[in-house]
Amino acid sequence: MGLRLSPAAPGTYWRLAGFVAAYLLLDWVSYIYPMAHFNITPWNPQPALAIAMLMFYGQRWLPVVVGTILAAEYLIRDTPAPWLVGILAAAVLSLCYGAIAHLLSRRYAVSPQLDSRADVLRLVGVSALGILVTGMLYVAALVAGGSGSLALFPKALLRFWIGDSVGILVFLPLILMLSHPGRRARLATLLARPEALAQGISIVAILLFVFGQTLAEQVKFFYLLFLPLVWISARAGLMGSAVAALLIQTGVIVAVHFTGQPPLTVFEFQTFLIALTIMGLFLGATVDEREQAERALRKSQKLAAAGQMAAALTHELSQPLTALANYARAGQLLVTAGEREQARLEETMQKLVAESRRTADVVRRLRDFLQHGAMRMEAADLAALTERIVADMQAPAAAAGIELRRRVVAAPPPVLADTLQLEIVLRNLLRNAIEATRDAAPGQRTVTLEIAPAADTIRLSCIDGGSGVRSDQLEQIFEPFETSKASGMGMGLAVSRAIVEAHQGRLWAESGPHGVFHLTLPAGEGEHA
* Residue 224 identity: L
H or E element that contains 416: strand 415-417
Residue whose CB is less far from another protein, 144 or 333: 333
From the CB of 438, what's the least distance to another protein, in Å?
13
With contacts defined by CB under 8 A, how many residues of the chain interact with another protein? Answer: 31
Residue whose CB is less far from another protein, 390 or 440: 440
Residue selected from 37, 298, 351, 406 as contacting another protein according to rule CB under 8 A: 351
From the CB of 348, what's the least distance to another protein, in Å?
7
From the CB of 444, what's the least distance to another protein, in Å?
21
Gyration radius from the chain CA atoms? 35
Q: Is 407 helix (H, G, I), strand (E, B) or coil?
A: strand
Residue 479 to residue 520: CA distance in whole angstroms: 19
From the CB of 319, what's the least distance to another protein, in Å?
5
From the CB of 315, what's the least distance to another protein, in Å?
5
Query: Are the C-beta atoms of 53 and 167 separated by less than 8 Å?
Result: no
Query: Are the C-beta atoms of 99 and 108 separated by less than 8 Å?
Result: no
Residue whose CB is less far from another protein, 106 or 485: 485
From the CB of 344, what's the least distance to another protein, in Å?
8
Residues 460-499 close enough to bind another protein by CB under 8 A: 480-487
Residue whose CB is less far from another protein, 49 or 324: 324
Residue 359 to residue 488: CA distance in whole angstroms: 11
**Region near another protein per CB under 8 A, out of 53-61, 151-159, 328-336, 385-393:** 328-336
Residue selected from 322, 342, 350, 471 as contacting another protein according to rule CB under 8 A: 322
Residue selected from 128, 323, 420, 452 as contacting another protein according to rule CB under 8 A: 323
Does 333 help bind another protein (rule: CB under 8 A)? Answer: yes
Residue 392 sits at the vertex; the CA angle it makes with 389 and 393, to the nearest 5 degrees, is 90
Asked whether the CA dihedral 490, 494, 498, 504 is positive or negative, the reply is positive
Closest CA to 283 of 105, 175, 124, 129: 124
Residue selected from 161, 171, 327, 369 as contacting another protein according to rule CB under 8 A: 327
Q: Which residues contact 441 (CB under 8 A, 6 or more apart)?
A: 465
Does 243 help bind another protein (rule: CB under 8 A)? Answer: no
From the CB of 356, what's the least distance to another protein, in Å?
11
Residues 404-443 close enough to bind another protein by CB under 8 A: none
Residue 221 to residue 224: CA distance in whole angstroms: 6
Does 356 help bind another protein (rule: CB under 8 A)? Answer: no
Residue selected from 250, 326, 356, 511 as contacting another protein according to rule CB under 8 A: 326
From the CB of 499, what's the least distance to another protein, in Å?
20
Residue whose CB is less far from another protein, 280 or 320: 320
Closest CA to 155 of 277, 278, 37, 28: 37
From the CB of 331, what's the least distance to another protein, in Å?
10
Region for 481 from its dihedrals, namely left if φ exceeds 0, alpha if ψ lies in -120 to 50, beta otherwise:
left
H or E element that contains 37: none
Residue 206 to residue 298: CA distance in whole angstroms: 38
Query: Are the C-beta atoms of 40 and 93 separated by less than 8 Å?
Result: no
* Residue 216 identity: A
Residue selected from 246, 321, 400, 408 as contacting another protein according to rule CB under 8 A: 321
From the CB of 400, what's the least distance to another protein, in Å?
17
Does 334 help bind another protein (rule: CB under 8 A)? Answer: yes
Residue selected from 234, 311, 349, 420 as contacting another protein according to rule CB under 8 A: 311
Does 298 help bind another protein (rule: CB under 8 A)? Answer: no
Residue whose CB is less far from another protein, 111 or 318: 318
Closest CA to 197 of 228, 237, 165: 228
User: Got the DSSP string for 457-512?
Assistant: EEEEEEE-SS--B-GGGTTGGGSTT----SS--TT-HHHHHHHHHHTT-EEEEEBS
From the CB of 333, what's the least distance to another protein, in Å?
5
Does 116 help bind another protein (rule: CB under 8 A)? Answer: no
**Region near another protein per CB under 8 A, out of 286-294, 325-333, 457-465, 503-511:** 325-333
Residues linked to residue 299 through DSSP beta bridges, in sequence order:
none
Query: Are the C-beta atoms of 460 and 523 separated by less than 8 Å?
Result: no
Cα dihedral 426/431/432/435 (nearest 10): 160
Query: Are the C-beta atoms of 229 and 244 separated by less than 8 Å?
Result: yes
- What is the separation of C-alpha 349 from the centre of its chain, rounded to a whole number of angstroms? 56
From the CB of 483, what's the least distance to another protein, in Å?
6
Spatial strand order of the sheet with 506-510 comes to: 403-408, 446-453, 457-463, 516-522, 506-510
Residue selected from 348, 421, 428, 496 as contacting another protein according to rule CB under 8 A: 348
**Region near another protein per CB under 8 A, out of 68-76, 104-112, 184-192, 321-329:** 321-329
Q: Is 246 helix (H, G, I), strand (E, B) or coil?
A: helix
Residue whose CB is less far from another protein, 42 or 320: 320
Residue selected from 325, 379, 391, 474 as contacting another protein according to rule CB under 8 A: 325
Residue whose CB is less far from another protein, 130 or 320: 320
Residue selected from 60, 295, 299, 329 as contacting another protein according to rule CB under 8 A: 329
Binding-site ranges for another protein (CB under 8 A): 311, 314-316, 318-327, 329-330, 333-334, 348, 351, 354-355, 358, 480-487
